[in-house]
Structures are given as C-alpha cells and as structure tokens.
Amino acid sequence: MENTTNQKLPVQGAGELNIRVAQQNDCPRLMELVHELALYEKLPDEVSVTLAEFEAAGFGTNPVWKAFVAQADGLIIGFAIYYIRYSTWKGCRMYLEDLIVTEAYRGKGVGKLLFNRLIAEAKELDYSGMVWQVLDWNEPALNFYKKYEASIESGWLNASLSREQFLNY
C-alpha cells in the first residue's frame, strides 16, 4: 500500500469524508472501533489483543495487516483492515478481517466507500480475489455484500485453536 493519497468524498450526512491509508497514530481509535464491533457482535469480552500488539502487527518490523480509514471532521468513523491470504487453489487473495463503521454513520455510504477502496486495492495489487466472513444473523452486512453480488457460502465450519489450547501440546 505505497499509495498514501487521501481520497476526499462527500457522504450523505457525514460532510466531507476522507478515505486514506491507516497510520500508526490511528491505532488507539481503531481499537475503540474494534471494541464497538465486538459489542455489536455480542462478544465484548473476546477482544484480547493489546494496543501495543495491534500497533506492532500493523506497523512493526514485520507488519501483517493493512487498513484504510474513513475520517469525517477529524474523527475516524470507520475502517477496513485486511491481510494477504494464500490459497493453494487460487493464489494470493485479500482477506478482509473487519469492516467497521461506527453506529452513528452506518447507512450513509461510508462502508461502501471503504469496500470500494478495498476492491481497488485488490485490483491494483492483482490479487486473485477477496474473501471474508460474515455472521449468519447479521442481516445488514449480508444485504450489503449481496449488493456486490458476493458469493456467500455455506457448508464450511470455522475452526480455531487459542493460544492456551496450543500451549497444551
């Protein structure tokens, strides 16, 4: 994401909105939005990453994530964070980890601008596609992604091991 050019766009009810590449000093606000998302997803106690870990993962010696932020009137009101996932079947793909718009700005086109910026990034970097997860009960998100004619699959189950689980082996 070498292109750090700011993109300023009018958004209904949000004044002038600036879409730009995330910077390290944005991280405290991004973490606030992560906590807002966790509350929305009914999992407020599941966020265990610290601000220092979050910053190091995005801006340390070996960054693993990249993000775009949406800013209105000096406040970050949303962001889209992604990383590169390698598929043995498809090659390099953008994995959208989170797309978050603070509640007061939802439904005003902010998410669309962030998602469109992700699509532009995926095209610019010649990825073979973009993938993400969406909760089956999150109707607003499902409806949003359907507008893009996204393929929403069933049949795959999420599996994971926590740090505590893999330390037992």
Helix or strand run (H / E) with residue 31: helix 27-40
Active-site residue, 145 included: yes
- State the Cα–Cα distance between residues 42 and 118, nearest whole angstrom: 26
**Residues in CB range of 43: below 8 A, 6 or more apart:** none
Q: Which of 86, 105, 145, 169 is catalytic?
A: 145
**Residues in CB range of 24: below 8 A, 6 or more apart:** 55, 58, 59
**Which tokens sit at 115?**
């998602």
Could you give the residue numbers annotated as active site? 145
